[in-house]
Amino acid sequence: GAVVSQHPSWVICKSGTSVKIECRSLDFQATTMFWYRQFPKQSLMLMATSNEGSKATYEQGVEKDKFLINHASLTLSTLTVTSAHPEDSSFYICSARDFRKGTGIYEQYFGPGTRLTVT
């Protein structure tokens, strides 16, 4: 099956520093990847859609200058949380989309998530 990895799985950083999270599709090419944020005991909130070779599309209310997304290749997207603050502490999950010719539908595969704690 399709595998998506994220690195790091957890990170603790000091307020004011920047943190980069990587998302990789390991056995397929993903022209589109998505970044989600999940608060404790809540659902996933879509932050942005990342398309390879173009600028990310951010959801309303998400600061694009704070959450920098780069999708430089068909297997890698990165999310950089710039000048992180404690309120940015959250669980960040990426997913990569693969078009399945057999079913004719897009399927999304999720990474294991990255827990960010800003102190």
Residues that bind another protein (CB under 8 A): 6, 32, 34, 41-44, 46, 49, 93, 95, 97, 103-113, 115
Half-sphere exposure of 61 (CA within 13 A, CB side): 4
Cβ distance to another protein smaller for residue 6 or 75: 6
Answer yes or no: are the C-beta atoms of 100 and 44 closer than 8 Å.
no
| Nearest residue (CB) to another protein, 77 versus 95 | 95
Least distance to another protein, CB of residue 105, Å = 5
At closest approach, how far in Å is the CB of 88 from another protein? Answer: 19
Tracing tokens 């998505």 back to the chain, one arrives at 34
Task: Give the CA dihedral 21, 109, 56, 105, nearest 10 degrees.
Answer: 170
